[in-house]
Chains A and B, each alone.
Chain A
Amino acid sequence: MGKLSDAIYEVHYMDTIAGMDSPIHRVHPLVKLAVTIAYIWFTVSFNKYDVAGLITMVVYPVALFSISGLSFGHSLKKLRIILPLVLLMGILNPFFDREPRFLLYGLTVTDGMVSGLTLIIKGMLTVLGAYLLIATTRIEAICYALNLLHVPEILVTQILLTYRYITVLLSEANHIFEAYSLRAPFQKGVHYKVWGSLIGQLLFRSIDRATGLYDSMVLRGYNGNFQHSQLPKARLKDYAYLLAWGTAFAVLRYTGLTTLLGSLFI
């Protein structure tokens, strides 16, 4: 079950890169969360035919990758899992919207093709934006920021505990499947007849784990209100970061920068 151990490694890897030290990692989590939300909002708000404008939004991930020191190639490799989903979002557009838009080397480019491409780019950029948030911010800091934004307590606690226990669950699953494969050496994968009992096992183990965890929490004073860690307040440079990106996004979105630049050269 190499894939399960790979998944465990991936979670650990995310935790490691989120704990790195760089100017981006040091930005206040609430500010980073606000910038990410703004980035996603501005990105999806582009007109469905404005490919040129949308491409300028690449500046944000490019800047963050270069300042934070994260590996762009490695990150793209991770994002390949959701690429099919992103492609699926826009792939049908050319079939529904067949209005010709322009000719490119004799090929008629339809509105559907353009809007499909826009949708795919929007998908890629928003996923990249969210990825950059979790790759530069530790989970407890994100939860702290969500808490400051008054996101329902139960949701924040769920995120925090799911993140902590996803690896425990994966390693339980890994143990079950390893034990199975050691006694079924000539089988590729798990026979469908035992799927039910294996998943049942995993469910019972998860329930056991959840019960133990809850017991441990109530014994240490948990009464339904999760007390999150307190981080220092945002500093002036955090606000400057927010202001800079907010302004940049607004400029890229509303000034038609590509048209302006194009008119300078043509």
Chain B
Amino acid sequence: MSHHHIICKNISFSYDKNAEILHDISFTAGHDDAIGLIGANGVGKSTLMRILVGLELEFTGEVTIGEIKLTKKTLPRVREKIGYVFQDSDNQLFMPTVYEDIAFAPRNYGLDPQQVEERVQHALDLIGIDYLRNKQPYKMSGGEKKLAAISTILAMTPDVILMDEPTIALDPKNRRRLINILNSLDHIKIIASHDLDMVLETCNRVILMSDGKIIADGLTRDILTDKALLEANGLELPFCLQGDTGVSFRPSVPHDHIHL
């Protein structure tokens, strides 16, 4: 039995023969991995995530999730093991209330009402959003929606959590809350993000992509501190590591116009 839970071997993918989106992607992920998937816009991060959950099946190569090879036939079994948090929470929260949304997956997997209730409560408690249980998604803030979206996948008790830009559109307080929650979850995590400071705090490993290929795969502290590597691939050091950024406060209004 392999100790790797995710095995990607030579994955290539394209919608159009002349424009390959992913080229020969190979990596493995084990039980201790929290992987930050980073790279400039359009390098194929989201496509790779979609392949891992079987939303794109026309790829070449091989994906194995928890000993199950990803094929059209094995999709339901694979998806039971992976929770995917969408970038836009409105896609994820389609039921009238948070409770109904979290209960959606357990019901689909044939659990009885008592078990559904337990799963929902557990997912709400893990994220600490019991107060949102009966709230309608449209009445919630972006941060609350994101937390509810994470709860919806936790109710499936997945082994792997994939997240696409989880901190996008979150205010600092909600972002901090999300980081704390991510650190408290002991699932295998793959987080695609441009928020390198968040990756620095939540991931022990980073995969850097560029032009549909893996450019670097290593420890977070090695990759996210390599200024030259990051800049060569359209990124920059995390803000917290930039030191003197050269940015200083310069009021646009002359001092004598400021009345305190």
Q: Which residues in A have some Cβ–Cβ distance to B below 8 Å?
A: 12, 15, 138-140, 160-161, 163-165, 167-168, 209, 212-213, 215-223, 227, 229-230
Residue pairs across A and B with Cβ atoms less than 8 A apart, 16 shown, are A140-B96, A160-B95, A161-B94, A164-B94, A164-B95, A168-B90, A212-B91, A213-B94, A215-B91, A216-B94, A219-B79, A220-B105, A221-B104, A222-B108, A223-B76, A227-B104
Say which residue of B100, B138, B156 sits within 8 Å of A220 (CB atoms): B156
CB-based contact A219/B53 at 8 Å: yes
Q: 5 tightest CB-CB pairs across the interface, nearest first?
A: A221-B108, A212-B91, A227-B107, A220-B105, A140-B96
> Which of B76, B97, B105, B152 has a CB less than 8 Å from the CB of A140?
B97
Please measure, in the bound complex, the distance between the C-alpha atom of A11 and the C-alpha atom of B122, giving whole angstroms: 31
Partner of B88 from the list A212, A218, A222, A230 (CB cut-off 8 Å) is: A212
Residue among A209, A213, A220 with most chain B CB within 10 A: A220
Instruction: Enumerate chain A residues within 8 angstroms of B83, measured Cβ to Cβ.
Output: 219
Residues on the B chain within 8 Å of A138, using CB = 96
Instruction: Indicate which residue in A15, A167, A219, A229 contacts B100 across the interface (CB closer than 8 Å).
Output: A229
**Minimal Cβ-Cβ distance residue in A for B82:** A219
**Does B103 sit at the interface, judged by CB under 8 A?**
yes
Q: A164-B95, A212-B88 are in contact. Are A221 and B109 (CB under 8 A)?
A: yes
Chain A: minimal CB distance from B114 (Å): 10
Taking residues whose C-beta sits less than 8 angstroms from the other chain, chain B's interface range is 20 to 34
Which residues of B sit under 8 angstroms from A15, Cβ to Cβ?
96, 136
B256 to chain A, nearest CB (A): 34
Residues of A within 8 A of B137 (CB): 164
- For B76, the chain A residues whose CB sits under 8 A away are 221, 223
- What residues of A have a CB within 8 angstroms of the CB of B107 in the complex? 227
Given A138-B96, A213-B94, also A227-B86 (CB < 8 A): no
Whole-angstrom distance between the alpha carbons of A215 and B49 in the complex?
13
Q: Which residues B117-156 have CB closer than 8 A to chain A?
A: 136-139, 152-153, 156
Shortest Cβ distance from A140 into B: residue: B96
Question: A220 touching B108 by the CB < 8 A rule?
Answer: yes
Q: Which residues of A contact B96 (CB under 8 A)?
A: 15, 138-140, 160, 163-164
Contacts of B53 in A (CB 8 A): 219
- Once A221-B105, A221-B108 are accepted as A-B contacts, the answer to whether A216 and B86 lie under 8 Å apart by CB is yes
Q: Specify which chain A residues have a CB less than 8 angstroms from the CB of B82 in the assembled complex.
A: 219
**Complex contact A140–B95 (CB within 8 A):** yes
Instruction: Please judge, given known A-B contacts A167-B138, A221-B76, A227-B107, whether A215 and B94 are in contact too, CB under 8 Å.
Output: no
Given known contacts A15-B136, A167-B138, A220-B152, is B94 in contact with A227 (CB within 8 Å)?
no
Closest residue of chain A to B96 (Cβ to Cβ) is A140
Distance A217 CA – B80 CA, assembled complex (angstroms): 12
CA distance A221 to B156 in the complex (A): 9
Beta-carbon contact of B79 and A217 below 8 Å: no
Question: Residues of B contacting A161 with CB < 8 Å?
Answer: 94
CA distance A161 to B105 in the complex (A): 16
A213 touches B91 (CB 8 A): yes
What 0/1 pattern do residues 71 to 111 of B give for CB contact below 8 A with A?
00000100110111010101110111100100111011100
CA distance A168 to B145 in the complex (A): 14
The answer to whether B139 and A219 have CB atoms under 8 Å apart is no
B65 to chain A, nearest CB (A): 13
Q: A219-B82, A221-B109 are in contact. List 7 more A-B contacts (CB 8 A).
A: A212-B86, A216-B91, A216-B94, A219-B55, A221-B79, A222-B104, A229-B100
A219-B108 in contact (CB<8A) = no
Report Cα–Cα, A12/B96, bound state, in Å.
Answer: 11
Partner of B91, one of A160, A209, A223: A209
Residue of A138, A139, A213, A221 contacting most chain B CB atoms (<10 Å): A221
Q: A212: which B residues are within 8 A, CB to CB?
A: 86, 88, 91
**B100: which A residues are within 8 A, CB to CB?**
140, 229
For B87, the closest partner residue in chain A by CB is A212
